[in-house]
Amino acid sequence: MKRQVVFGIDIGGTNIKSGIVDNEGTILHADNTPTDAQAGRDSLIGKLYAIAGRYKELAAAEGWEPRGMGVATAGYVNAREGRIGYATSNLPGWTGVPLRDNMSRETGLPVALVNDAHAFAIGEAWIGTGKPLEGFLCVTLGTGVGGSWVTKHGGTYFGRDGYAGGYGHIVIRHGGQPCNCGLSGCWEQYASVRALMRQAAEAGLDESATGGSAKKLFELAREGHETALGVIDRYAEYVALGMTNLIHILNPESIVVGGAITAQGDFLFDRIRGKVKEQIMPAYDPVRIVAAALGEQAGLAGAAKLAWQAADGR
C-alpha cells in the first residue's frame, strides 16, 4: 500500500514554512520560502500553488499518495467560509481571499484553512509539548501576540467564526499605547517582541546599544547590565499580567508559550512564572508555564493535522 501523506503550509509575514507530513506527524520533507508579502496577493497565491505543485511531483516520485492539504496563515481566518476574514498590512491584499476553495481547486485535494496561532497549538498538541497534557492554553509571543485554547479532549476552541484567540487585544492599561486594532493599551503593545524593543529604547537602550535585536538585549541583561535587566523584568511583568487575565478566565493546567523569544529559557520564564504566581488568586495555582517544543515547525504540523481531519471527512 502506498504511504499516505498530506501537505502542510504555514504562511507568516516573513517566511512560508511548508512540509510533507505522514499520519503520525513525521515531517518527511520541509521547505522555507520567503513570503515576499509586499509583492501582493497574487504573488503569494502563486507561491502557494508552486509549493503544492512541487509537492505533488515529489510525492509521485516517492510513491506517496497525497490525501489533503492544510494551510495556516497569519491574520484572522474565517474557518466556516474558508477565507481570510482580516489581515493586517503584514500581508497586503490578503483580507477576503477565499483561500480554501482556491487551493482546493488548484490541487484537487481537500483543504483545511486555519489561523497560524491555532495551527501552532494544534501542532503542539499533536506531536509537541502539549501531547501529554490534558488541555492547555497556548500563547505566542512574536511580532504580534495571540494564542489558542486546546481543551481536554484535544479540540481547539475557534469561536463562532474562527477568530477566538485574539489574546493580544486584551486591554491591560487604560489609555495606554495605541494598537493597530484601534484600541489603546492592548497586551500586544506590551508583550510582543516589537513592544519589548520599544520599552528598551524608552529606557535608553536604543538601536546603538541593541542593534534592534532582542537577543542582544538579553545578552546585556545576562551580563548584568542594570538597565537591560530592568527592561526584561518589566517586560516579564507585562507578559505575566496578560497571562493572569487568561488564567482567571480559563483555569488552565499549563500554558505552552511559543515564539523565538522562548529560546531565552528560564532566564525569561522564571521571571514570568514568579510574576504570575504573585498575581493570580491562590486557588488557580499551580499553573505550569513551559516553552513550546516544535519551534518553527509547529504551525505546519498543526496545518497537516487539520489536513488529515479534512481528508478523513471530519
Sites of contact with Zn ion (CB under 5 A): 169, 179, 181, 183, 186
Closest separation in Å from C-beta 300 to Zn ion: 27
Closest separation in Å from C-beta 49 to Zn ion: 33
Nearer Cβ to Zn ion (183/203): 183
What nine digits make up the cell of 28? 518527511
Instruction: Give 100-104's long-range contacts (Cβ < 8 A, gap of 24+).
Output: 100/71, 102/45, 103/48, 103/49, 103/52, 103/69, 103/71, 104/69
Closest separation in Å from C-beta 183 to Zn ion: 5
Nearer Cβ to Zn ion (33/88): 88
Nearer Cβ to Zn ion (47/169): 169
Cis, peptide link before residue 286, omega less than 30° from 0: yes
Closest separation in Å from C-beta 168 to Zn ion: 6
Helix H or strand E encompassing 216: helix 214-222
Please spell the DSSP secondary structure of 249-304, one letter per residue.
Answer: HH--SEEEEESGGGGGTHHHHHHHHHHHHHHS-GGG---EEEE-SSGGGHHHHHHH
Closest separation in Å from C-beta 189 to Zn ion: 7
Nearer Cβ to Zn ion (181/260): 181
Nearer Cβ to Zn ion (187/235): 187
